[in-house]
Copies of this chain bind each other. A is one copy, B any other.
Amino acid sequence: MLSQKCKYALQALMVLAKENSDNLLLVSEIAERENLPKKFLEAILLELNRNGIVRSRRGRGGGYALAKPADLITFGQVVRIMDGALAPLACVSVNYYRRCDECKDEQACEIRRVMRRVRDAIANELDGTSLAKAVAEGKAVAATLAAASSAAE
């Protein structure tokens, strides 16, 4: 399960992704729109900033925007920054690998083989989905929903 922190990060990033990228948004604006605890969100955006996902400017007229085009930011990147490994077990993580203390022979471990496939499935989805793609999907679904409801009148 993703942490709240990670979910909030994704919510904030989706807001920024829908915005014009040279239009800065205030932390308080994002927090209000998405109904998130402001101080916590501040810390989250700071961390995203340090990791090159968003950029910021301080002072009057300051705020946050994406640091790069929305199609270059994937859900996988964000989750890794916020929560660490995508993998269900550290021993199958690519980016955050750690050996299993209990298992004597990693190569023979059947559980590991199963979890490796799970990891790949997760990584496949999350690394294959950018913010831009999620926005586009959302628009497409909204459009078909609107069409269906107007056809029903």
Contact = CB atoms under 8 A, between A and B. Distances in A.
Interface of A: 1-2, 7-8, 10-11, 14, 34-36, 75, 84-85, 87-90, 100-104, 107-108, 110-111, 113-115, 117-118, 121-122, 124-126, 129, 134-135, 137-138, 141-142, 145
B137 A110 contact: yes
Within the oligomer, what is the number of copies of this chain?
Answer: 2
B110 A14 contact: yes
A111 B126 CA distance: 11
Interface of A is mostly: helix
A117 to B, nearest CB: 5
A110 B135 contact: yes
A93 to B, nearest CB: 9
